[in-house]
Homo-oligomer: A and B are copies of this chain.
Amino acid sequence: MCKAAPWQTGVYVPKDWTMASQEIENLVQALARLPGLGPRSARRAVLYLLKRPETTMKPILSAMEQVEANLVTCTICGNVDTKDPCQICSDPRRDEKSLCVVEEVSDLWALDKSRLFPGKFHVLGGKLSALDGVRPEDISIDKLLKRVEQGGIDEVVLAMNATLEGQATAHYIAERLESFPVRLSQLSHGIPVGGELDYLDEGTLAQALRSRRPVE
């Protein structure tokens, strides 16, 4: 009988034998840090890029270079974009009179993706938090007050997260805006559309019950 190859006797490939060159490993590791991609799917994505570099890698590369070179934070609202004022602030078709205040840029994107709010936005860049030592002057509240002070705004929608800190932030901003002639509103809380009572937490149920509406 012929001698068994080493891998047939249980000797595995050592960890330091890399399959691909360092450049490719670097790309896998960099992509693996993206949310939604892990090491496995990053490897699959890289393989996809390597197979057809002209049609897959080139577009990403040039788009990323463009964004990277022009990235700025909007000096009016705090959104991130490749121009200042950002796409939303500089769009004359948007309703100047409605202002939606959110905690983070991700909240702005989530709201705007839903295409329900044709007004302008204001990004606080955080929320008040006694635990993390975030005070009103640490987030973009003064700038918000200045925007309202300048006039032309009819309604401010406080779209903070439905967390303790988010609601405390909304409450604080509402107090500061009390003296201005603007309508203040906030997102309603309650049962999410499609949600089943059975699966919801007590806090949501309590809120849904507390803010119940007459049947139309």
> Which residues in A have some Cβ–Cβ distance to B below 8 Å?
2, 5-7, 11-13, 15, 17-21, 23-24, 26-27, 29-31, 33-37, 41, 43-51, 53, 56-61, 63-68, 70-71, 80-83, 86-88, 91, 93-95, 97-98, 105-106, 108-109, 112-113, 115-119, 154-155, 183
Contact = CB atoms under 8 A, between A and B. Distances in A.
Contact of A97 (B5, B33, B51, B86): B5
Given A34-B45, A68-B58, A117 B13 contact: yes
Nearest 4 CB-CB pairs, A to B?
A: A36-B41, A27-B63, A13-B115, A19-B112
A35 B48 contact: yes
A17 B2 CA distance: 71
Given A17-B94, A21-B81, A155-B5, A65 B71 contact: no
Contacts of A87: 18-21
A71 B51 contact: no
B60 A31 contact: yes
Copy number of this protein in the oligomer? 2
Contacts of A33: 56
A11 B98 CA distance: 14
30 contacts: A5-B95, A5-B119, A5-B154, A5-B155, A7-B95, A7-B118, A13-B115, A17-B91, A17-B93, A17-B118, A19-B88, A21-B83, A23-B63, A24-B67, A24-B82, A27-B63, A29-B63, A30-B63, A34-B48, A34-B49, A34-B60, A35-B45, A36-B37, A36-B44, A47-B105, A50-B105, A53-B71, A57-B68, A61-B64, A64-B64
